[in-house]
Structure 1
């Protein structure tokens, strides 16, 4: 490391923010015996594309071209030690940034839906997409409300939403509306209910599509 190059430790906050923003169970710290280095403790496989065992972690880092050492701590967790700012940036970009983006999109969409009275469950699925789930309360009123906000007030016209066929047709109509708004393919899945759970419909969006939908709803707020 040259005298002008940032040390790994200087990016402690950036890595900690990325770990938190990605909703990953990891711990970041500067080791006492190497104050220029930065350590990341891998506490879970959730959201990792590799098994956080020491050798598999080393293999992944090598394949990714990231210079870092790996050891096992006293609680048998793999610890990645980075000694350059570049290595820290690579870990952030390769491991956590995609999840930070999808969680940011999910939070934003969740907030804007709630502000419009749309009671939907938004959850992330992997690093590139999320789902918006509507349960059958009052004839899928929230899905109908969303379509209304997007300029399609009659989306449920002619449908018997208490029947499976009507629910499937509503799901398809919602899918086409969202595909038109977000400019890309939208996945849809119907969840038949049971004694304890009502019927449900979930649409799947990419991260950029979710951001586009949120922005469109923000823009539509001025029309109401």
Structure 2
């Protein structure tokens, strides 16, 4: 069974990150600080023997990926593969909303006011379900819709014929997606109340059995 080594990087800081706005399928550009986030990640990963590189099809992820690829020793052989499977959670009509206001709306039906309160009481997947229910158009993704899309993306990586057992792969991801992965595959060892740092690196192992998270937000996952 093939096992791949994933380097999962959160994109650099954007203007919507700065303004505390929900940023799912919507997009804002990297700030100068966000470009620096990507450059630091590129330095850290420069000598990793990357065999493939993936990102979502949002510009903040693609721009981050290009900086990291350009700094990698294998840059001449790496071509960025983009896929909508790796987009952030879709927030529906809450896209671009203040995060605190959006999560207060999501938690209103269960008497909770913050993302942290919802996660503590119900888990990360429930935040998606509650936000979809609170969206007047119900366009926001619920947990089932979200995981169907993301799991197809990981299967796409596993099915890449150029990748062999033990190969290393870059994946540029998003804050809530990293939280979702940590909640589902972190075995309760990872704090999921707050988004990981922009430009932070998580090391994971991907196989047909799922994901194992080794480091998260630049820190080892403690056994």
TM over 0.5: no
Q: TM-score, normalised by structure 2?
A: 0.25
Q: TM-score, normalised by structure 1?
A: 0.25
Larger radius of gyration: 1
